[in-house]
Amino acid sequence: MTWLLLWACSPEYHVVDEPVEPPPPPPEASLDDAGAPPSDWEACTLGAFGTYYNLPADHPDVEPTVDDPPPAGPDTTDWFDDERAVWTRFDPSLDFGRGWWPVDDGLEGDPAYFSASWAAWVRVWTPGAYAVVLGAGGDAWVELDGVVVAEAHHLDDFEAEAPIIDLEAGVYPLRVRFAHRTEAADGFQFRVAATDDDVSVCAPELR
């Protein structure tokens, strides 16, 4: 809308545009809360920030028996507690494949027992049903906006699944978590089977 401003003491007038309300700033958040969403989705950094943890050989959850059920969710365990963290890094891709052993501190049981948690943001440009490729030689969860939308539990070998998830257009915080608790073959992969024009998975911006 255009407003016509009349000056009382002058026959002159000026045409000005109605002020446009600026968009709200992105939420302030720590890396633990998935960080701040990208300010420029067209040029965002594809990937995720990961925190890696070491699980001790005497942890009660390592080397589970075939009768042990998987945990009800990642937050029901201490596998991702701060005191177990060993380092953080940026990962441009979470498609690590088989034979992936990222944590080795020389402790008893290394490198077999470890866990990892990644934070990113998802921008769904085109709503629809998308396959989420989730391969795990262990326990894995994918959380979108705080809700577990996919999980996998394969303790004896690396297996890949591709569940279909309905995604509405919008911006969502993403959390991907993985734990390897046996000496069996390890491996991990996660990706959304979509083009960047449909779905973007971008690293948080730390502010």
Q: At 196, which CATH number?
A: 2.60.120.260
Is 20 within a domain? Answer: no
3 belongs to a structural domain: no
List of residues 6+ apart from 86 with CB closer than 8 A: 52, 53, 54, 103, 105
What's the average model confidence in pLDDT over 95-111?
Answer: 93
Number of domains in the chain: 1
* 19 assigned to some structural domain: no
Asked, as a colleague might, if the bond just before 111 is cis with ω within 30 of 0, I would say: yes
Q: What percentage of the chain carries pLDDT values higher than 90?
A: 70
**Residue 83: inside a domain, yes or no?**
yes
Q: Comparing 185 with 171, which gets the higher pLDDT?
A: 171
- pLDDT attached to residue 156: 86
Q: Is residue 55 part of a domain?
A: yes
Q: Does the structure show a pLDDT above 90 at 36?
A: no
Residue 4 belongs to a domain: no
Q: Which of 74, 82, 89, 151 is nearest to 119 (CA)?
A: 89
Structural domain includes residue 64: yes
Give the gyration radius of the chain's Cα atoms. Answer: 23
Mean pLDDT of 183-202: 92
Give the dihedral of Cα atoms 171, 177, 49, 161; nearest 10 deg: -70
pLDDT for 13 beyond 80:
no
What band does 186 get if pLDDT is binned at 50, 70 and 90? confident
Task: Give the predicted TM-score (pTM) of the model.
Answer: 0.82
Instruction: Report how far residue 74's alpha carbon sits from residue 105's, in angstroms, rounded to the nearest whole number.
Output: 23
